[in-house]
């Protein structure tokens, strides 16, 4: 397998899952800061022009979208224990992932880091950032109040939901420099101690 990633992007969560699985894979850097996601070479890989994308090798065409990639990795590698085995437990894990990737990511952080995508007028950008920061606080509070595990998101233990939550925690704590609610913060610290997380961060040149 080959993971197309950008350092510190949401793809770090998939990178962590690959490290948790422990099977051979390659990394292919996509320099999103300089627009490499729009290059003809990468568009040929992923016409959506974003990361992550996972080349499955002999298994078929490139797989895109965070939730789809994570669900595939979990179900194709059951021995890694990346998702609950019962249908409802799996649905709950995907539910958590979908909230993070579909709501928290775009409306708390994409809006904050790339306000031009939400407003064409430069004078409106500060308001877009302010709204995004308020959203981040609200969304993390939702996660905090619905906490189901200790220290992991799911009562069944570590799962794809933890890898998803980690990348937005990392942005809030390390990139934005804002505190996390107590249970979410305890989760973030527990994640930083996992060997797979340490390896992924080191490989991407990110501070632990």
Alpha-carbon distance of 109 to 140, in angstroms, equals 12
Return the number of other C-beta atoms located less than 10 Å from residue 170's C-beta: 23
**pLDDT surpassing 90 at residue 77:** yes
Q: In what order do the strands lie in the sheet with 2-5?
A: 26-29, 2-5, 53-55, 63-64
User: For tokens 């179900």, what's the residue?
Assistant: 75
Hey, what are 77's tokens? 């590698």
Question: Average pLDDT of 43-69?
Answer: 95
Banded model confidence at residue 119, pLDDT cuts 50, 70, 90 = confident
Tell me what the pLDDT averaged over the chain comes to: 96
Give the pTM: 0.96
- The confidence band for 35, taking pLDDT boundaries of 50, 70 and 90, is very high
As a whole number, mean pLDDT of residues 15-26 equals 97
């Amino acid at each position: 397998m080959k993971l197309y990633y950008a350092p510190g992007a949401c793809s770090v969560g998939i990178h962590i899952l690959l490290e948790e699985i422990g099977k051979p894979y390659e990394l292919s850097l996509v320099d999103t800061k300089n627009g490499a996601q729009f290059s003809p070479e990468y568009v040929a890989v992923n016409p959506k022009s974003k990361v992550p994308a996972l080349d499955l090798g002999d298994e078929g065409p490139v797989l895109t979208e965070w939730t789809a990639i994570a669900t595939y990795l979990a179900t194709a590698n059951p021995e890694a224990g990346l998702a609950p085995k019962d249908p409802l437990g799996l649905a709950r894990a995907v539910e958590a992932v979908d909230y993070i990737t579909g709501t928290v990511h775009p409306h708390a952080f994409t809006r904050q880091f790339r306000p031009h995508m939400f407003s064409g007028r430069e004078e409106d950008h500060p308001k877009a950032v302010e709204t995004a920061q308020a959203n981040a606080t609200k969304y993390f509070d939702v996660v905090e109040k619905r906490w189901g595990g200790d220290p992991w998101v799911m009562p069944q233990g570590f799962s794809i939901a933890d890898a998803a939550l980690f990348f937005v925690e990392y942005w809030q704590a390390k990139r934005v420099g804002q505190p996390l609610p107590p249970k979410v913060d305890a989760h973030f610290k527990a994640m930083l101690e996992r060997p797979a997380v340490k390896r992924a961060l080191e490989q991407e040149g990110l501070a632990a």
